Every structure is written in C-alpha cells, then in structure tokens.
Chains A and B, each alone.
Chain A
C-alpha cells in the first residue's frame, strides 16, 4: 500500500520498457502489449477511487524518499481528492487513447506506443508529485513524447505544430522554473532549509511583492498550458496536427496541467498575489470564453473548431477558479473533468471519421447520421455534454462556476453566461453541418458505423457523462477537501468550523518558533479535531521543526546559511522577521499570541 502511487505511476513506464524488447515487425504484439499495459494501468488505479478517504483533508498515500539530498529534493508523492480524480481521468484516457490508435497508426508502431506510455507516466507523475522539483521533472517529461507524437504521426503541418507546441510550452516552463527557484531560495533564506516540499509552501507566508513575481512566473508556465488567451495559439495547431490519440490526451489531460498548477500552486502558495491578479485573470478568462467561442464559430476545420471550443471551456474553468469561492472552485475542478470527457470524446469522434475519410473539412461531410446512426447518437450526447445540457456532466460544472462567479461579480457572470449561448451556436452548427442534411458527397455514402472497438472507447465516457450529470455527489465529495484546502488559503472567511478547531495557534511546536513558524500555518485537522502531524513529524522533516527555533535562542547555535542570506540581514539582532510578522493577519491570524504560544515562548518552554 505504501507504494501504491509508485505502482500506478510506473506501470506505463514499465510497459514502455517491455515494448523495447519486442521486435519492431511484430506490430500486433506491440498493440496488444500496449493495450494490456494501459488497461492494467487503469485497473490498478481504480482502487484509488475507493481507498481515497474524502473525510481526511490531508494528502494520502504519501510516499517519501530522499532524491537529491544535497539540494533537498525528494521523491515525494501524495494525492488529494483533486489529484485522485485527475489521475483516474489520466489512466482512463490513457487506455482510451491507446485503444483508439489500433488501426489509425500503421507506421513506427513500436515507437508510437512507447511514447504514449512514457507520456502517461509523465502526466501521472505531475499529478502525484508533492515535491516541486519532481513536479517540474514530470512536467518536462510530458513535453518530449508529445513533441514526437505530433511531429512524427501528425498530419500535414506537423513539424511546425510540434515545434511550436514544444517551444511555447518550454518557454512557459522555464519561467515557471524561475518561480520555483525563487520560492526555494526564499524559503531557504527564511528557514535555512533547502526544500521543494509543496506542503510546506502551502503554509508559507511570502511577502506580497515577492508573491507577485512568483505568481507572474507561475502564470506564464500555467497559462500557456491551459491555454489562456492570448497564449492559446499553439493549441489549435497542435490539436489539428496531432494524431487522434495525441489530441485526446492533449485535451483531456495535458491542458489540465495548467489549471491543476493554478489550483495546486498559485492559489494556495500565493494567496495575496492571487487576489491582486484577479482582475487580470478574470479579464483574460472572459475574453477567452467569448473569443474562443466566436473563433470556433468561424472554423471550417472540424478539429480546429473543437480546439477553439476547448479554449473557451478552459477559460470558463479559469474564471470559476478565480471567483475564489468554494462553489466557483468546485465547479472549476468539476468542469476540468467534464472537459476531459466531452472534449476528449469529441476529438475521438473527429478521429473516427478522419480515419475513414482523411479530411477534417466540415464541408466534406453532411448527412452522416444516415449512414452512421450510432456515431451520430454518440456525437449528439457529447455535443450536449459540451454545451452543458442539464442532466449531463457539463451542466454541473457550468452551473457551479457561473453561480460562483455571479457571487463574485454579476457583470462577469453575465458575460461568461453569454458563452453558453455561443457554445450552443457553434456546436449545433457543427452538428448540423456534419450530421444532418442529405448526403451530397458520394464518398460519404458507404461510411461504416462505429465498430465494437471504437464503441468501446466511447462507452466509459458516455457512462461518465450521464453519471456525473445525474449524481455528481461522489465526485464533488472527493473534490471538496481540496477546495477547502485552497479556500482556507485564499478566502479564509469561508474557513469551516473544522479547520477553526485546529488553527495554527493550537500547535505549540509550530507557534513556539517565530520566523519560520510563519511557514507552518494551520495544521491539517484529523477527524478527532487534533492536528495531524503527518507532515511535520515525517522523518524527512526534522530540520524544519528544529531550525526555526534557533534564532530565538539568540546567538548560540549559529546558522550560517541564514545569516549569510542577503534576504535576511537581521536574524541575529531581532528574532522575528519584521516584514513577516507585521503583515496583516493571515488565515487564522497566526501572529496573535495565544496561551499556548506564550507558554512555549518562555525560555526552555520549547521541547
């Protein structure tokens, strides 16, 4: 059990390694192995759904081991509800993508599946990593296979698209790396500890001006990935030219990296900056919603249309997130799953007719529902899911997001809701142009309907779309601890009673210390109301707990790194970091002395 996440994580990679030993000529064996591996990958991830305990707000299935001890990087995995769902989405879309490629890929089959499986590991790792450097590693690992998938198995303009995708995302991730390093060194300058531990950063109080810069750095990394207007232009190209499986993975999972990044890192680590940037983010999101929808309306290329609808939908996800209230963020997370399902399915649908006709021009089609009725029915359900028809999944996300946004600002909601109208316009006209009418193109007269394998790729998505629309509770229950966690940081006014019980002040160990103590805010609550010390007491952490106390004791055990750090010139002189303590009360107002803290602040009171 303790290595459960690692098993999920490395199953695809093991499959990829296995494939390396299979002869290139033996294409069917390769296909079988890849499919079986992906299927196993999905099956072993399913227990995560049941084993994950939504009542426990902590990261679960935590695995920790030193990785590069000299710089404090660790192999640190763990999941909360949000990442659980994204992992399940990833493994599910993984098998679907691989299954959908059976007949579509006929060249360099072996390399293709190897890349897909490596990509799978990269994505899973990014969702599991709780160490920032590890996250960055997986983040970059994803890029390379995707680059080759587009560049080798793509369509006409594939090289341009692949390079554009690669460079664009790389630029973003380099800037993001700067942000990570800034955080890393800042943390070191305050606590004297080199660490990439995300759970620690989640409790950090970073000066506002610094938050700004880090937020901007993260913004570039994540916004390009989402993609937000105006950084979206790589997406239509990449989608259009990628092979079907590539598009599916790209839409369903890779784009979620951006939004995942915002929710996992930007919001909880940088709450003040998040608030400060709300106007910008909202503006870009609203532009994205309307702009993406309008541009989609003008498309003549089926896949490009879906790609632009993706831009519009992801902008809605961003908008819900930056409503900064529980309903908006819940909707935002839920909508990410929806987008994965419906847009993934829409790309699969394009892929199926593309495989038959080798064209994506909408005008080449028409009247398809006559010859492919099952296909038309699946397409209809997914269209409705995409435009947010109630009783299907899209509606839940859309409704929550818009309700959340409405509370934040009525004007934003009014604009964002217009995306709903436009969404119906472009999707329905796509549906009409391709499915309805008479068959005028003789090439369409003998198109084959979905076969068993193709239908199998849609079946789970259809089931999910209906399930999530009719009874989203199990999903929303799993999302809620993650949302609470983020909300406790960005909008503490929503902090629930449960977290109030375990406000930071209650844990003497933490409050006894000063400067660094500011990093260790509200300890997570256990079911009994006591703080769970899993994080603090974990074997890798003694440094953090021990070090903060040093300055207070005065000059005795000098901490060279701290003193040497230019950012903190006054360590020896005055114990607390002035700028940190002077800042307005943060969630739970950690600076307020409580009996517990007074107690432990007394000389020798520290344990």
Chain B
C-alpha cells in the first residue's frame, strides 16, 4: 500500500509516452497495447492494495502516503483571527470509499481501454495514439481525484478530468459540434468549479486545514446546523455547486448530453462510469460535513430527485441511442444525489458502483451497435438487430434489466436501498423517485425494443435482401422515416472507413469480452449490498464503507505512527461525538422512522412491480402496438415537443447567460475603445491642440512681440538714418541749432 501513488502514475506514464512518442512512431496496435498494459498494471496494483486494505481490521482501514510537498507552509489568518498554516502535500489516501472507487476506475478503465483498441481501430494511426494518450491521462487524473487526501490534490483530479473530457469529447475536432460540445463541457464545469474552490477556501478559513479527513474530524466537533444556515452549510452548498457541474445536476447538467459527441468508449468511461460520479464521490468524502448541514442535505436531495425526474422525462422521447443513455445517466446521478441528500451515503456510493458497471455496459453495447451500423446513432434506423449481434443484445439486456431494477441484477439492490432510505426520510422525494424508476424502466426498454426487436429499418447494404427490414415494418413507429433513409449512407457518423459496409454485424472479440465482463459485474455487483431485510448479516458494502463516512477513523502510517501529534489529539477529541456521528451518517435505523422488515420487503416488491410496469408499457408501445406511441405523441404534441427539445433549457441559457456575456463583452469592448481609450486619445488631442495653439501664439504673439521690437528699431532707424547725411555743413548747422537751443533753454530756465 506504500506504493498507491504508483497507481495514478502508471497511466500518466502511458499518457506521456503515447502523447510524446506514440503519436509519431507507434502503430495503432502498439499504442493501444501500451495503454492497456499501463492500465492493467494499475489494476493489478489496485487489487493488491485493496486486498491489503481488506486484511486490516475494519476500524483501521485507512492509509496515507505523502509523496512530496506541493504547497509548502505559508501562514494565513483564520476565521477566529489566529494564524493557521496553509499547506497541501502530494498526499494520497486509501480507505474503503477510495478503495471501492479505485477498483471501479481501474477495472472499468481497463475494460474500456481494451474495448477501445477495437473500436478505434479504423482511426488514423496518430489519432489512435492521441486517443489512448488522452484516455490514459484521464485515468491518471481520475485516480488523483479518487486518491487525493486533501482538497487541492482532489482538485487536480477534478479539473484534470474536465480537461480530458474536453479533449476526448472534441476528439473529432474537425467536427464543429464536437469541439463545441467539448468547450461547453469545460466551461460549464468551470462554473461549478467556481463554487468548489470557494468552498475549499472557506474550508481552510474555517478549519485551518485542507486535509479531507482532518476537515471531517473538525466538522464532527461542530454542532449540527439544524434550522439555520451556518458556515458548514455555506461550505456544503459551495461544494455542492461544484458537484452539480461535474456530475451534471440541475442547473448545470446541460453539458452531459452534448458530451455524447465523443467516441463511445469515452462516453462509457467518462460520462457514465467515472468522471460524472466525481461529484457524488466528493460528497461522500465530505459526508461528515454534509451531515452537519441538514438544510443543504435537503437541497441536495431535492435537486437530485428533480434532476432524476427531469432527465428521465427527456429520455422518454429521445431517438439518439447515446442521448437516451446520456439522459439516463443524468437521471441515475440524480438518484445518487438523492441518496446522499437523505443521508444514505453508502447507498449512494453503492449505486455509484453498480451504475458504473451497468451503464458502462450499456454504453459499450450501444457503441457496439453504432459500430455495427457504421456510425448510425438514430434508433429509428435500427431495429431487429437481435439476430445480427446476439452477444451485444444479451449483454445489453442484462444491463437494461439492471438499470430497470429487476432482481437479482445489481441495479435492483442499490436503487432499492436508495428508495427505502428516501421513503424513511421524505415521502415526497420517495414518490418522485418511484415515478423516475417507472420511467427508467420504460425508456430503457423502449431503447432495447427499438434497437433489437422488430424489423430492420436501417440502410440497406450490399447483398442484403431489401425486403426484410421494411417489409416486417409492423414494429416501425416511424416506417416512413425508416424507408426514407434506407439506402442512403448516413452522414452523421464519424466515418469508420472500412470500405463497403456489409450490414450490421457482431463486434470483434476485443469489444465483446469487455461486454461480458461488465455484464458479469452488472449481475454480481449487487450482491455486495443485499439488504439486512433479506440477509441477516446486513449489507456488506454498507459496513465496509461506513468508516469513510464517519469522523472516527484511525489513520495508519507506513511506520504505524500517526502523522502528527496535532492530528492524534484531533482524533481523540473526535472520539466521543463520533458515535453519534456514525448514527447520523450511517442512516436512520435508530431513528423514529423505523420500518419493519416486512415493510421493507413490501417496498422492495413495490419497486419491482413499478419496474415491471414500465417494461410492460414499453413493450406495449413499441412491440405489440406501436401505433399507440404515435398516437400519444400526436395527442400530446405540445408536451412531446417540449420534451424533445429538452425543456428548452439550452435555449434559455443561450438567451440569458451566454448571449448576455457575449453582448456584455462586445459592449465593454466598445467602451474600452471609445471611452477608456478615448480618454487617453482625448488627452493626446488636447495636448496636440494646446501645442498647436501655443504654436500659433508663439508665432504671432511672442515672436510677434520680438519682431515688433525689431520692426520698431528698424522703422525708427530709417528716420534717424536720414539724419546721418555725412555732410559737414549739415552737422555744423545742427550743432548751431543745438547750441542755440541749449543757450535758449539756459536763459529761459534761469
């Protein structure tokens, strides 16, 4: 476990090698194999570390490794006027929550790397290396996020995955929509990050530390802010703003559906299994903080369930196979936040894990379908693919059953746990969540029926008998659209350039094996969380994760001593209230909302019933009586339009925030040129003008005066000059006049 820092480092090396060398020199196969190898090594190390973690007693399952200083110590004032020390090392922590997440990231990451070697096989050579470089880089950042033991290191991962998401969404950068979507994802995430970093600043200001565990311990000592909105609530709210960005919750969810512009393995890894769950994970990491801010918890739960509901309704009417899955992801993330909001942290984390399996499976399956259809993503042009690609169908069906919540698939256990906790906490939230569950089952089976059942509606291919797709078009909700497009090669795809298309086909082994692996996960992952109502020993995963959500925790150092004396004290100080803490965090079993075991099983049965109802409805609308769905769409044309257009939220943001910013920018630019710079230029002009005036006055007044003197002298000299005749007689005469004048004057004066 001392070497857990190697786990993120391995994919980083892979990214660096592929990015610096591979782009130029590696063949497709080498690039892919290298990337996969680093991930497999990371997975091996993770399993090893996790095994060691399991070997420890439950209370000691935490392990810190500090690799190096990052932000060295700098004094900084805290809220109470004392001077704290701002510092953050490159520190990693393995504890149950990060351990679980570690396995999810490396495990699913590895599978998706393998899958990508086949999926991206038709890309140009350098492009493949670039793709794997980004994908590896993503895994590096995601592992940093997961393992970081303080907020800044977590933030490295947090922002870094955003960057990789940007790069991978915009992988086909020549496509405008792809680079737009990447930009949108990055900037929307930045809006969330605004909240997140302010939250981190407030954490430091309040607690004087940025270590995740120290913050939890310190928070545990503070009173629970029931009924008022104190500093903990402010922190939690700011962190939650960050989470809404990263995990695509209202109001910042808009980027995720667009992110489907990226290659499908990317959607599976980043936009379903790992990155988007970072917000949930972060909330789980700060469980103690959040459980001290019940007001914010309510906000979290409400936002979560509303997001779940809203995304599910949009998912009902989408035709792009990946968009359905995208909205389903938003919806499932909403579920996780609902769980966090009602205090069921381990249920949320559990759902995070099961969701990672079945949603990655569904995305990879859809990728397999898209691959088979040469880039086609519109479900109206699919249909009947069951017989062409049985493996994809079978595995996707497992994923669909899992997400719909049919026992014994994974989704059932995790979703049921959330519903149960929500039921205990708040009936309104519970009922909204149940409605969402119904819709989930419906739209997922709609996807399955439209894609795999009925007749083939896609474009014809060489040597195909054209009849069979359209002739059995009884399932075809949009027969006209289907035939209209038949035979035209679609331009929506990203151009798998493998010659003439030979019709839908099963994908190669590198793609189907990961599907099988994930399908197994989607079945068995749920067994970790079999609730106490069924299995007397109780949910294994809940017990396992619990220490991560409570303040009490013994940190084990490599040499077996705690990090510092201060921390030890903090630990001891934390101990007494920790018991209460645990009760608060681990759920409400002891609370007033005690429900009997029979009641719990009843709720379970009810949620299964709901799921089955959804499935049957989908079957009726899309298999047995397809005309009904047409009719419904027509009857509720208005509602249908609103849903198809995703409630016009994108348009709303566009009209307000985006164009507002843009026009502000343009106006300020005008102001800058005309007013601010105008003042500068004006000053210049004033100077120039006054110098011109000075020049004039210099020329005419000052110089005029000088010239006037000269002129006067000259003019007067003209007259005086006339006196100087040079004739002795004249001078004699003048002398005579002079003598006479003086004598006369003398006589008169005297």
Binding site for B on A (CB under 8 A): 164, 167-168, 229-230, 232-234, 291, 294-299, 325-327, 330, 367, 369-370, 373, 377, 384, 389-391, 395-396, 399-400, 402-404, 406-407, 410, 413-414, 417-418, 420-422, 424-425, 428-429, 432, 435-438, 470-473, 476-477, 480, 483, 493-494, 496
Measured CB to CB, the nearest residue on chain B to A163 is: B684
Q: Name the B residues within 8 Å of A377 (CB-CB).
A: 19
Chain B proximity of A419: nearest CB distance (Å): 10
**A298 and B193: CB pair below 8 A?**
no
Given contacts A406-B205, A420-B197, 20 further A-B contacts (CB under 8 A): A164-B684, A232-B676, A294-B661, A294-B665, A294-B668, A326-B76, A390-B156, A399-B71, A400-B86, A403-B76, A404-B76, A406-B198, A410-B198, A417-B197, A428-B186, A432-B170, A436-B176, A436-B179, A437-B174, A494-B75
28 contacting pairs across A/B (C-beta < 8 A): A167-B684, A233-B680, A294-B664, A294-B665, A295-B669, A297-B665, A298-B662, A298-B665, A298-B666, A298-B669, A326-B76, A327-B76, A367-B174, A377-B19, A389-B160, A390-B156, A400-B86, A402-B197, A403-B76, A407-B205, A410-B202, A413-B198, A417-B194, A420-B193, A424-B186, A428-B186, A473-B70, A476-B72
A389 to B189, CA, bound (A): 12
- Chain B residues in 8 Å Cβ range of A424: 186-187, 190
Q: How far is the CB of B672 from chain A (nearest CB, A)?
A: 5
Shortest distance in angstroms between A171's beta carbon and chain B's nearest beta carbon?
Answer: 9
Contact A325 B76 (CB under 8 A): yes
Docked Cα-Cα span, A299 to B672, in Å, equals 12
Q: Which residues of A contact B180 (CB under 8 A)?
A: 432
**Closest residue of B by beta carbon distance from A396:** B71
Q: Which residue of B lies closest to A331 (CB)?
A: B74
Minimum CB–CB distance from B178 to chain A (whole Å) comes to 8
Q: For the complex formed, measure the closest distance between the CB of A593 and the CB atoms of chain B, giving whole angstroms.
A: 28
B75 to chain A, nearest CB (A): 5
State the main secondary structure of chain B at its contact with A.
Answer: helix
Question: B606 contacts the other chain (Cβ, under 8 Å)?
Answer: no
Q: Which residues of A contact B32 (CB under 8 A)?
A: none
Query: Do residues A327 and B86 form an inter-chain contact, with CB atoms below 8 A?
Result: yes
Q: Is the CB of A407 within 8 A of B77?
A: yes
> Per-residue CB proximity of B49-85 to A under 8 Å, as 1/0?
0000000000000000000111110111110000100
Find out whether the CB atom of A472 lies under 8 angstroms from the CB atom of B76: no
- Cβ-defined contact, A389 with B159, below 8 A: yes
A437 touches B173 (CB 8 A): yes
B76: chain A residues within 8 A (beta carbon): 325-327, 403-404, 407
B201 near A402: Cβ-Cβ < 8 Å: yes
In the complex, are the beta carbons of A297 and B155 less than 8 A apart? Answer: no
- For the complex, count residues of B whose C-beta is within 8 A of A: 56
Hey, which chain A residues are within 8 Å of B662, CB to CB?
Answer: 297-298
CB <8 Å contact, A403 and B190? no
| Contact of B676 with A421 in the complex, beta carbons under 8 Å | no
Q: Which residues of B contact A327 (CB under 8 A)?
A: 74-76, 86
Known contacts A327-B86, A428-B187, A473-B72; A436 and B677 CB within 8 A of each other: no
Which residue of the partner chain B has the closest CB to A429?
B183
| Bound form: Cα–Cα A477–B193 in Å | 28
Query: Given the complex of chains A and B, what is the CA–CA distance between A384 and B186 in angstroms?
Result: 11
**Chain A residues closer than 8 Å to B193, beta-carbon distance:** 420-421
Residue of A nearest to B172 (CB): A436
Complex Cα gap A597–B201 (Å)? 44
Give per-residue flags for B322-339: 1 if the beta carbon is below 8 A from chain A beta carbons, else 0: 000000000000000000
Identity of the chain A residue whose Cβ is nearest the Cβ of B19 in the assembled complex: A377
- Distance in angstroms from A233 CB to nearest chain B CB is 4
- Render B450-489 as a binary contact track against A, CB cut-off 8 A, 1 for contact: 0000000000000000000000000000000000000000
User: Pick the contact of A494 from B83, B155, B183, B198 — CB < 8 Å?
Assistant: B83
B191, CB-defined interface residue at 8 Å? yes
* Interface core residue of B190, B677, B679 (most chain A CB under 10 Å): B190
Among A168, A389, A414, A421, which residue has its beta carbon within 8 angstroms of that of B187?
A: A421
Contact digits for B201-214, partner A, Cβ 8 Å, 1 yes 0 no: 11011000000000
Which B residues touch A422, using CB under 8 A? 661
Distance in Å: Cβ of A382 to nearest Cβ of chain B: 13
**Contacts A234-B680, A327-B86; A399 near B197 (Cβ below 8 A):** yes
Contact of B14 with A by CB under 8 A = no
